[in-house]
Amino acid sequence: MKNQSNIQPNSVQMIEVHDDLVGQRIDNFLLARLKGVPKSHVYRILRKGEVRVNKGRVKQTYRLELGDIVRIPPLRLAEARPEPKVGAGFEAHLEQNILYEDDQILVINKPSGLAVHGGSGINFGLIEAMRILRPDEKSIELVHRLDRDTSGCILIAKRKSALRLLHTQLRSGQVDKRYLALVAGRWPNRRKTIDAPLKKNELQSGERIVRVSPEGKEAQTEFSVVRRFSDCTLVEARPITGRTHQIRVHAQYAGHGLIGDEKYGDELLNKRMREKGIKRLFLHAASLSFVVPVSGKRICVEAPLSPDLLVALDGLENSSDE
């Protein structure tokens, strides 16, 4: 079998999966190795079944197993593009927002508006920027993802062994994620669990949207009240499962859409909140608890809210029944 580091996109490739690739998603495996091939094309050949694992079709979420044989068809290369550069100011901003770092991993407080990876008209995202900032780290990968407009804790692995261990923790529910979200209206006092299956849909415009559907995948989110305001509530959200847009859709399903959510929220309320200084999606990954690879110690990393959101909260009127 050919070595995965020497892929030639203009010919059929047969690649055997070794220890360092076990547990990696097939789409991430392809994207990391097919530099110069448009991302949309990589996903297209997956959907069409041109990429085969052990001679069979697989979905983009398939995770590689030891000994798998991956067949990659001939692919066209995109025109060469200059390597993205990180401006000095942006570089300093990212460095200042690193919350935890060791030889295996790092956790960063991702700013709202920064995509986690490039594609779809975006030259580069967080992971590309971190690879530029850490040129000696050859195996930097995202452990999980956040929506572009969501801020807060995101975990990045520097070693493939760490990536596998953390993916195992994610699948077994050992990673505890807590979000702060500002939602419309008065959320009930008691902690409440939303248990509603979610299904991804694609509109004619190509926009991806998620809906509660009996045909969807199992999804649960726990919510608890943090602070009440006159026409909204600050809640803590703990996703038990990890579905796309889960917190946003579950909040909408409960009748309390997130403030600043242009896809699932209340347009009129969002407009009023913009006038009060909340000009973005109010969803923040506030903390992340997990077992550190190698040391085996459990840590909890916390990300503070950005100054603009803190100022906006201070300007909101408290609820009289708080």
Rg, C-alpha atoms of the chain: 21
DSSP line for 103-130:
SSEEEEEEPTT--SS-BTTBS--HHHHH
- At 279, is the secondary structure helix, strand, or coil? coil
Catalytic residues: 147
139 C-beta neighbours (distance < 10 Å), count? 14
DSSP line for 67-95:
T-EEEE---PPPPP-PPP---HHHHHHHH
DSSP line for 158-222:
SSHHHHHHHHHHHHTT--EEEEEEEEES---SS-EEEE--EEEEE-TTS-EEEEE-TTSB--EEE
List Cβ<8 Å contacts ≥24 apart for 117-126.
117/142, 118/39, 118/84, 119/39, 119/40, 120/39, 120/40, 123/84, 124/84, 126/94, 126/154
Q: Check if the beta carbon of residue 183 is closer than 8 Å to that of residue 232.
A: yes
Q: Check if the beta carbon of residue 177 is closer than 8 Å to that of residue 288.
A: yes
One-letter amino acid at 122 equals I
> How far apart are the C-alpha atoms of 29 and 40, rounded to whole Å?
15
> What letter would DSSP give residue 21?
G
**Tokens 């995770």 sit at which residue?**
63
Beta-sheet pairing, 56-57 with 52-53: antiparallel
CA dihedral 223, 110, 35, 52 (to 10 degrees): -10
